[in-house]
Amino acid sequence: MERRWIKVTEELADKYALILKDYKAGAFTIEELAGFLAAQPPAELARGLGMQSNTNFLLNRYEEVLAGMVAHAPVTETFLASLQTLDAHIYEGINTKTAAEMQKAVFQAVVGDLNESQFRDLISTETLTPKQMNAQVNDTIRTFQRSVQTEQAQTGPENLQWIWSGPLDDRTSDDCVMMIAEGPMTYAEWQASQWSWALQSGTHFNCRHQLEAFVQQEQIGEVKRAQSVEEGAVKL
Ligand SMILES: [Zn+2]
């Protein structure tokens, strides 16, 4: 994902270099440039730069995520398609907003007489960086996975227990440690607990945790470790 987004920002930097060259050669005035940039719909620039690749990447990853999930209850195609469409709308919005920020950055850079490398610095502060875009995509994928998992927990067997699952390391938030330490509970119990707010969104942006069906005793290992961390007996 990061590579695709780097390509987008590089293509923009190339475009900028051409615009700057033409401007220096007297091909247009600042006023004409402002008019030209303002007349170009951001969505068109977004398409021109291939920004929809992040949306396509996301939708392809959903297929992989679903293929890797254990089904505990049927989830309808309509439900999955709706979740994907909701996310696709958000990404269209991100693309358009980013393209608008890029158009403005092009104008600011020409006015400020910035060279190409200074322009790259400017867009890295004014728009989503490849790293930020990557984090955004990862968070969306995890939230999608949590939504599907939640739907299964809701429609699946009532007595099936779930644990909060994911890496237990120095990046794990205190909230997630506490949730892992809760151990297995039915979905109804999770919903009635103080953690109901985190079941779909995670405890923070880019949270790596989610509900996982408790199907084998070995899963208790991480629960015990989280309890020891909570008690201060073990450090992460
Ligand atoms: Zn987490």
* Nearest one of 219, 225, 141 to 185, comparing CA atoms: 219
Distance 69 CA to ligand 1 centre (A): 19
* Nearest one of 162, 167, 166 to 149, comparing CA atoms: 162
Distance 236 CA to ligand 1 centre (A): 14
For residue 74, what pLDDT is reported? 85
Distance 43 CA to ligand 1 centre (A): 34
For residue 1, what pLDDT is reported? 79
Residue 83's pLDDT band (cuts 50, 70, 90): very high
For residue 33, what pLDDT is reported? 96
For residue 10, what pLDDT is reported? 93
Distance 77 CA to ligand 1 centre (A): 28
Distance 101 CA to ligand 1 centre (A): 31
* Nearest one of 22, 17, 35, 27 to 109, comparing CA atoms: 17
104 burial via Cβ count (<10 Å: 0-12, 13-18, 19+): middle
pLDDT tens-digit readout, 95-131: 999 999 999 999 999 999 999 999 999 999 999 999 9
What is the mean pLDDT of the segment spanning 7-15?
93
Distance 176 CA to ligand 1 centre (A): 5
What does the block give as tokens for 7? 């390509």
Distance 4 CA to ligand 1 centre (A): 27
pLDDT tens-digit readout, 144-185: 999 999 899 999 999 999 999 999 999 999 999 999 999 999
Residue 236 has pLDDT above 90, yes or no: no
pLDDT tens-digit readout, 27-58: 999 999 999 999 999 999 999 999 988 888 89
For residue 54, what pLDDT is reported? 85
> What pTM was estimated for this model as a whole?
0.86
Distance 193 CA to ligand 1 centre (A): 17
Please name every residue paired with 213 in a beta bridge, in sequence order, or none if there are none: 162
